[in-house]
Amino acid sequence: MNIILIGPPGAGKGTQARILVEERGMEQLSTGDMLREAKDSGTEMGNKVAEVMARGELVTDEIVIGLIREKLTGSDATGFIFDGFPRTLKQADALNDLLAEVGQTLDRVVELRVEDEALVKRITARSTCGSCGEVYNDITKPIPADGTCVKCGGTEFKRRADDNEESLRTRLMAYYKQTAPLIGYYYHAGNHCRVDGLGEIDAIKAAIAEKLDG
Ligand code: ADP
């Protein structure tokens, strides 16, 4: 089964994708994570995208489509979770073509719905473990008092360069202008469904499972 998780920054796509990976053997394809890796590797492409990302703007369709194309071939996962991709209509068309090329289909597009006020609160409080990527939140899931990650025992935590109020405003605007139209696109394709992204992680997980298995 191949699915897209779609929703504004901070909607919880990464958190839910990680659960689906652990519980269902699916493979998470997060263009945000891929771009951050490219950025850290210091390659020419990495340097080019770093500034764009820090401002909260979208990197070019060509770059992200290229990244996804590389990952779609040669995986033995039970399915892909597209997280943060597609983000434009051009990327959505490209994904259709790429899936057709590898003989796969898109089964569900799960929209995670969260209002802006909650998004700002979530994102400005967010940090992750530098070793395993476990996500923490200063208010709802703080880093343990002994300073070690609950998942892997790591002791380094980081905040994203674009998790500040100014970049977040740009990211939200990019979402509403460029990505939100995809919801209508997939609604008409017949595979869109909506889940309330506010609430406990487990409750959202259950709501997603119902949409995928029901
Ligand atoms: P968010 O938490 O805001 O959803 P991501 O981790 O998915 O963020 O992406 C971070 C940044 O990486 C985006 O603001 C954008 O600059 C870039 N990016 C990620 N995916 C794409 C994409 N599919 N198309 C264009 N830019 C992307």
Res 53: pLDDT: 95
**Measuring from atom 12 of ligand 1, which residue has the nearest CA?**
32
Atom index in ligand 1 nearest the CA of residue 7 equals: 4
SS3 103: coil
Q: What percent of the chain has pLDDT over 70?
A: 100
Nearest-angstrom CA–CA distance, 209 and 13:
14
Taking residues 146-163, report their average pLDDT.
96
Res 19: pLDDT: 95
Neighbouring C-beta atoms of residue 23, cutoff 10 Å: 10
Model confidence pLDDT, tens digit, residues 57-90: 999 999 999 999 999 987 778 899 999 999 999 9
Taking residues 176-180, report their average pLDDT.
98
Atom index in ligand 1 nearest the CA of residue 85 equals: 23
Taking residues 148-176, report their average pLDDT.
95
SS3 54: helix
Res 8: pLDDT: 97
Give yes or no for residue 31 having a pLDDT over 80. yes
Q: Which residues pair with 128 in a beta bridge?
A: 135, 158
Burial class (CB in 10 A: 0-12, 13-18, 19+), 55: middle
Residues with CB under 6 A from ligand 1: 9, 31-32, 35, 52-53, 56-59, 64, 84-85, 87, 91, 162, 171
